[in-house]
Amino acid sequence: MQPGHMTPPAQAPGRKFLLVCGILYAVFGGLGIIGAAALQTGGAILGEVGLGSLGAEVNRLAFLAFIASGIMIVAGVLGIAWKDKLEKAQVLIGIAVISIAFDVISSIILGALSPMIIISLALPTLFIVGAVLNKNALSARAGTGA
């Protein structure tokens, strides 16, 4: 083995799921922050031109986008950082559940509950799959078999 190169641990079966989903979460979260900032700017402009109620609605969307993007960035960074740490699997599952809950709740608040929610839930679901694989590997290693 060359210096500086580490072989990924064989006992982290969810590693690839968490790495790929973590990268996608981080990228989409970053893009979401940019989009939320643009929405907030648009809401301010609408307020200044006399469309205050529309501006307030756009600002509400921007606020939800900021929160969703923050959750995505946190999930992405932790997924990448903890992809090989079996003992952190439960925390990663919790973060993905929070992400799913926020997606569903914000869709209900916005009245946008549609078939598109299925697509938006794919990434956190795959993230959970990776974390559960790691959690099960930890349990098997500990001798509980679950």
- pLDDT score recorded for residue 119: 75
Say if pTM beats, i.e. exceeds, 0.75. yes
CB neighbours of 4 closer than 8 A, spacing ≥ 6? Answer: none
Average pLDDT over residues 61-71: 91
Tell me the pLDDT tens digit for each residue of 5-54: 555 555 789 999 999 999 999 999 999 999 999 999 999 999 899 888 89
What does the pLDDT read at residue 1?
Answer: 47
How high is the mean pLDDT of the chain? 87
Tens digits of per-residue pLDDT, 81-100? 999 999 999 999 999 999 99
Query: From CA 110, how far away is CA 68, in angstroms rounded?
Result: 13
Average pLDDT over residues 94-121: 82
What is the DSSP code (8-state) at residue 73? H
Q: Tell me how far apart the alpha carbons of residues 59 and 45 are, in angstroms, rounded to a whole number.
A: 11
Among 61, 69, 89, which residue's Cα sits nearest to residue 26?
Answer: 69
Mean pLDDT of 49-69: 90
